[in-house]
Amino acid sequence: MNYVLKDRYPEEVFRYFEEISAIPRGSGNEKGIADYLCAFASEKGLRFVRDALHNVAIFKAASAGRENEPAVMLQGHTDMVCEKNGDTVHDFEKDGIKLILGEDGWLRADGTTLGGDDGFAVATMLAILSDDSLSHPALECLFTVQEETGLGGASEFDYSVLSARKIINLDTEDEGTAVASCAGSMNLTFTLQADTVPFAGNILKLSLLGLSGGHSGTDIDKGRANSIRLMGRVLNMLYRKQPFNLISLSGGNKRNAIPRECEAIISVQDAEGAIVYARELVGQIRAEMSSSDAGLHLKTGKAPKPETMFTYKDTSRVLSFLALIPNGVIAMSNSKEGLVETSSNLGVVRTEGNKIDFSVYARSSVEPSMDYTLCMMERVEKVTGLQMTFEDRAPGWAFNPKSELQKQFVQCYEALYGKEGKVEAIHAGLECGIILEKMGGDAIAIGPDMRDIHTPDERLNLDSVRRLYRLVVKMLAE
C-alpha cells in the first residue's frame, strides 16, 4: 500500500494506523480487522483468543526480569463510526479510509470519519506488541467490537481468559488528561406500525442540512442542534398551520452521534404555501443556532408518489413523539462543575413502508437518574402509542480516589513533558465500566488530541499520538 505518513512519521504506530485504515471496520463489520489482528499475532508468535463476535485478545509475555509482576491490560475497540458528507462517494462496507495529512500535523479523512476513534488504540497496541526492546510486565491487549453501537463487544467477552487488574484504556481524545470516571448508557428503540390510507394530495420533500453534529457524549453540552428534533419542530409548527400526512422520515446514522441531516416526505394540500412557511421557520431557527450550526439550510423538492401515506392520527403520533422525547442535556452534575450528569440523544430515524423506528441513546453517571430517564421514556411510550424496546444498559464507572494508575499517569506525564497531567470524569461512555464490573481492578483512559469525532471533520493530531505512545511505553516500563 502507499503510506501517507512514513516520511514525516516513521514510527511503527503510524504504519499500523495506516494499515488498519485500509480495512473497513464499521460497527458490526469487524471480521476483517479481527482477521488482520489474528494474522499479526500468528506472525509474531503471540498467543491470541478470538470469540464469535470478533473480539480479540493478544497476549505477550513479560520482558526479562519482570516475569513475577502482575499483568497489565491495554484496551481499545476496533470499530468506528461511519459518517460521510452527502456528496462523498464511499462504501464503508468495502472501502478503506482515504487519509489526508495536513501541513498542520493533523490527519483527516477525505469526506468521511477518520477512525482515530479508536484506531489510535489498535495501532498503539500493535506497535507495543511488535517491539521486543520494550520493558513491560505481561501484556493482555484486548481489542473489542461494537463499542460505538452500545458497548456490545465488551459486554459479551469472556473475561475468564484474562488476569490483569490494571487496565489502560486508549479511547479518549484529550492529551494530558486521564479519564477516571464515565457515564453509563442505555439503548432504546421506539417503533410505530402506522395505519395508512391511499395517497392523495401533493407530495413534498423537506431536507434539513448543514449541521455540525458531533459525539452524543462529549459534545452534548455544546449546544449543537439535532437535525431530527429540528425537523420535528418544523413539522409540528407546519401541522398546526396546515395538517398533512407523513409518508417517511429519515435522519442520522448512529444513535450515539448527534444527527446532522434529516429528510421528511409528506403529503400536503398547498405545497407552495408549506414551502414558504417551512423556509420562514428554518430562518427563525437559524437565528437561534450557535456558530457551529450556522450552515443550517432547508432544501425542498419532490419525490416519487407512494401508494399510501400515514393517517392523520399516526402522523400526529409521530409529531408528538418528536416534541416530547427527552433530548440533549437532562441534568448537570452537582458534584463536579461543568460535567453533564444525564443526557439523551435521538440519533436515528428510519421509515420502511408503514413502519417507523427511532433510536435513542441515553447516558448518566448516576444510576437513579438513569432510572428516572427510563421512566420518562416509558411515559412517552404511553402518551404517543409508539412501542418502546429496551435493548441494553451499560454500567457507569465510579471514580476511585485511591487509584495507583491515576498517580502514575500524572507522574509520568510530568516527567516526560514538564506539565502536570489532569484526571477528570467525562459524560461519554467507555468500556471501562463494563470491564471493571466483570473483573474489578484499577483503570484509567487516555488518548491523543482528536477533534470532531463521529463527524466527517474528525481529525487526529499526530505529534500528540507520538507523545501518548511514549507515555504508555513509560508507564509500562515503570
Give catalytic status of residue 79 as yes or no: yes
Query: Hunting for cell 423537506 — which residue is that?
Result: 206
What's the CA gap between 412 and 424, in Å, rounded?
Answer: 17
Catalytic residue, candidates 18, 30, 79, 293: 79
Contact 346, 228 (CB under 8 A): yes
Q: Which amino acid is at 238?
A: L
Query: Hunting for cell 450552515 — which residue is that?
Result: 295
Inter-CA distances, 104 with 114, 121, 290, Å: 16, 22, 26
What's the CA gap between 100 and 98, in Å, rounded?
Answer: 7
What's the CA gap between 443 and 74, in Å, rounded?
Answer: 10
| Residue from 260, 174, 251 nearest 224 by CA | 260
Inter-CA distances, 258 with 110, 136, 221, 222, 253, Å: 20, 40, 11, 11, 9
| Grid coordinates belonging to 467 | 507523545
Give catalytic status of residue 463 as yes or no: no
**Total residues found in the chain within this entry:** 478
What's the CA gap between 84 and 46, in Å, rounded?
Answer: 36
Catalytic residue, candidates 18, 30, 140, 147: 147
- DSSP for 348-367 reads EEEEETTEEEEEEEEEESSH
Q: Which helix (H) or strand (E) holds 155?
A: helix 152-156
| Grid coordinates belonging to 399 | 471514580
| Grid coordinates belonging to 359 | 433510536
Inter-CA distances, 33 with 87, 143, 144, 376, Å: 27, 10, 11, 39
- Bridge partners (DSSP) of residue 459 are 108, 451
| Grid coordinates belonging to 81 | 463510526
Q: b/e per residue, 185-206, with b = 16+ CB within 10 A?
A: bbbbbbebebebeeeeeebbbb
**Residues annotated as catalytic (active site), given as ranges:** 79, 147
